[in-house]
Structure 1
């Protein structure tokens, strides 16, 4: 079997009718990904490419004008885009996470309005939902609520049309208000303050709310975030998006390393071979990384299939089934995260010192994964799996898992 010569060939059967479109977009993203990673800032042209593709409506039901794609397809596209450009894959994945928030939390009237507008206006959704940032305050008023304060890690907020905003209403994790706020509403200021070493074009900086009015009909619900077991699937979608970003970065890094080794690497003096790709140690290392990556992909694909079953169960989803699903997703994310850190570092053992130039920017794969794996530490996620294994206690559905 001939190995794939280009990342576009890796997952074609899984994309169905979207194969050519997804491949073309990924190729366009990849062409400038290294340069844009160094520049940072907002990827306006690339965001426009995603808007124009129609793929931002993948999770929207057909009843509201969308494409109603299954979640495994959506999330494999996240994986595919992450091979090319991890930042835009992040924005693409979080788009569907915000759409899912409307599907899971919103009333039928809210779903009809927000989802139809998502399709008709080609909305790009941003977010200000970081549950650990308690600086945003809320109080009721006659017309709804007033938001005042700041939220950090607001991925996709710049160049967005609407924001999904959450704020604590009480001490318990499930006591939260989720609302949809137009990004251009008076008092909303999206700050250009994202300057991290990875995910450079996710615009994951802060948003300031200066006494911003949120109307009653903009607060998602019923059922709201704590209205059903099914509503807690939102957090699991977020975990799956991160898992696919890890896998995409790992695959992209390995693809680049193999291509670079074939085309540019000179054989080590003591190898006794004419070409670097004939070096037994290079073959041993590359083969080991590929096998590990395939195992991580298989684990993630199993989690995707289980999630789709849970999604289709609707309000019949039980707390027990949700708990088992959360463990499957946690296992996939732990394995993918740690493996991605390994692969994105070890590719330099294949490519050598010449590959470390800033122009190549091969280090962006490691930086992207490293930033995301710290979002909530993998050690804590592994502890949650161990707690379930030894005590039967599933992770808190209203926390990070």
Structure 2
């Protein structure tokens, strides 16, 4: 832990949680919700809330008990991500990326590597940040006697600034090979910039990073077997896509819940309505019916995909291309459905809440802003194209960092 991190941690309150992981997630969500509006306006790094997530013990949910973890499933994790996203989609994203990084270690590293790093994560309650951006190839790895020296820039490094470890990527000089490594966040040569100031997901710390002669030892490379070495290693992108799906879903559930509360308490009957009270207005009932139907379909698709991921994960290296392909179809269908449903609901929720719900004090627009920013990171058109290719031509999505 860095000196800065130690000083910050010493000033933060300790948070007590109890119960099952799902019960703890609900307690944590309530804590996050209490300051979500103010923190959305402020942006920056939410140190206290991130410390609360550390205190919850949930950072080791997926790690097996034999390695010191809680032994949770992917289906359970996605439920927790959804619970947190209802309250705060920024913190849900940073929390979820902990497990995308752990999945990267498991899928790309050797048995000795992933077991050691997972055990260390559980033992020391480590938080992993992301500096693996396959679309940003500005970081170059130059071979050295003991490994590599990484130099360059990287964008969209979500969760990096308050992390203990980073997953980083670089392009090998001369060969163009894509390298992935696990390193301490505090190592010399890493500068994480506080330059994330987008309209949504404002506390994900998704700013940029500079690497200046970052020394990476050979044993820190996650290249045995490495990316896309098998259908099993190709699960990383599907883990990520289902993370997106459940954050979108939880975010939209949170928006709809707030809309219902506001409609019941504050929305007025329109002058042209024949209803005596707003809860009997036929158009408001119609819109809520549409919202519920689309969101319920999204829940069913997301839960089915999570169950399929658990089954695929258990297959390990026995996983076939066809099994991986079937999972990809299920994940993409779920993601496409909630992307459209979520953008619709977070925009049209004001039609059932009314003009007064647009007051800046409530910041109800944060749901749409968060979803709009997040969905643009991975355009849904390409997932729909993949689904069309499967339906028309019987072609599974080709494994990549996004498919």
TM-score class, shorter? over 0.9
Aligned residue for 2:160, secondary structure, equals coil
* Residue 218 (str. 1) matches residue 220 (str. 2): yes
1:4 corresponding residue in structure 2: none
* Residue 135 (str. 1) matches residue 151 (str. 2): no
Aligned residue for 2:166, secondary structure, equals strand
1:242 pairs with one of 236, 241, 244: 244
* TM-aligned CA deviation for residue 59 of structure 1: 1.4
**Equivalent-residue separation in structure 2 for 1:261 and 1:267 (angstroms):** 10
1:112 corresponding residue in structure 2: 115
* Residue 276 (str. 1) matches residue 278 (str. 2): yes
Q: Is contact 1:299–1:332 with CA below 8 Å preserved after alignment?
A: yes
1:5 corresponding residue in structure 2: none
TM-score (norm 2): 0.93
TM-score (norm 1): 0.93
Aligned residue for 2:195, secondary structure, equals coil
1:180 corresponding residue in structure 2: 182
1:392 pairs with one of 378, 391, 394: 394
**Equivalent-residue separation in structure 1 for 2:112 and 2:229 (angstroms):** 16
Residues 264 and 171 of structure 1, relative CA distance in 2, 3 Å threshold? farther
User: What are the superposed Cα offsets for residues 159-189 of structure 1, whole Å, 9 maximum, x if unpaired?
Assistant: 101100122348999x421101111000100
* Residue 91 (str. 1) matches residue 59 (str. 2): no
Aligned residue for 1:139, secondary structure, equals strand
* Residue 153 (str. 1) matches residue 156 (str. 2): yes
1:355 corresponding residue in structure 2: 357
**Equivalent-residue separation in structure 2 for 1:130 and 1:60 (angstroms):** 24
2:27 pairs with one of 24, 29, 41: 24
**Equivalent-residue separation in structure 1 for 2:52 and 2:174 (angstroms):** 41
- How many residue pairs match? The answer is 385
**Equivalent-residue separation in structure 2 for 1:205 and 1:393 (angstroms):** 36
Q: Is contact 1:156–1:203 with CA below 8 Å preserved after alignment?
A: yes
1:340 corresponding residue in structure 2: 342
**Equivalent-residue separation in structure 2 for 1:17 and 1:54 (angstroms):** 11
1:288 corresponding residue in structure 2: 290
Residues 286 and 79 of structure 1, relative CA distance in 2, 3 Å threshold? same
2:254 pairs with one of 252, 255, 263: 252
**Equivalent-residue separation in structure 2 for 1:304 and 1:170 (angstroms):** 38
Residues 172 and 379 of structure 1, relative CA distance in 2, 3 Å threshold? farther
User: What are the superposed Cα offsets for residues 333-370 of structure 1, whole Å, 9 maximum, x if unpaired?
Assistant: 01111110000001000111111111101111111111
* TM-aligned CA deviation for residue 203 of structure 1: 0.2
User: What are the superposed Cα offsets for residues 49-84 of structure 1, whole Å, 9 maximum, x if unpaired?
Assistant: 110111000111222101121101101111111110
2:194 pairs with one of 192, 195, 220: 192
Q: Is contact 2:21–2:58 with CA below 8 Å preserved after alignment?
A: no
Q: Is contact 2:167–2:183 with CA below 8 Å preserved after alignment?
A: yes
* Residue 123 (str. 1) matches residue 118 (str. 2): no
User: What are the superposed Cα offsets for residues 242-295 of structure 1, whole Å, 9 maximum, x if unpaired?
Assistant: 000111111111000000010111211222333322212111111111111001
Q: Is contact 2:245–2:334 with CA below 8 Å preserved after alignment?
A: yes
**Equivalent-residue separation in structure 1 for 2:101 and 2:233 (angstroms):** 13
**Equivalent-residue separation in structure 2 for 1:19 and 1:238 (angstroms):** 21
* Residue 64 (str. 1) matches residue 70 (str. 2): no
**Equivalent-residue separation in structure 1 for 2:173 and 2:385 (angstroms):** 27
1:44 pairs with one of 38, 44, 47: 47
1:322 corresponding residue in structure 2: 324
User: What are the superposed Cα offsets for residues 81-120 of structure 1, whole Å, 9 maximum, x if unpaired?
Assistant: 1110000000111111111111111222212321122112
Q: Which runs of 5+ in 2 are unaligned?
A: 1-18
Aligned residue for 1:118, secondary structure, equals helix
**Equivalent-residue separation in structure 1 for 2:83 and 2:171 (angstroms):** 35
Aligned residue for 1:178, secondary structure, equals strand
1:7 corresponding residue in structure 2: none
Give RMSD over aligned pairs.
Answer: 1.6
**Equivalent-residue separation in structure 1 for 2:174 and 2:315 (angstroms):** 30
Q: Is contact 1:170–1:176 with CA below 8 Å preserved after alignment?
A: no
**Equivalent-residue separation in structure 2 for 1:238 and 1:41 (angstroms):** 24
**Equivalent-residue separation in structure 2 for 1:167 and 1:326 (angstroms):** 26
* TM-aligned CA deviation for residue 380 of structure 1: 1.4
Residues 234 and 204 of structure 1, relative CA distance in 2, 3 Å threshold? same
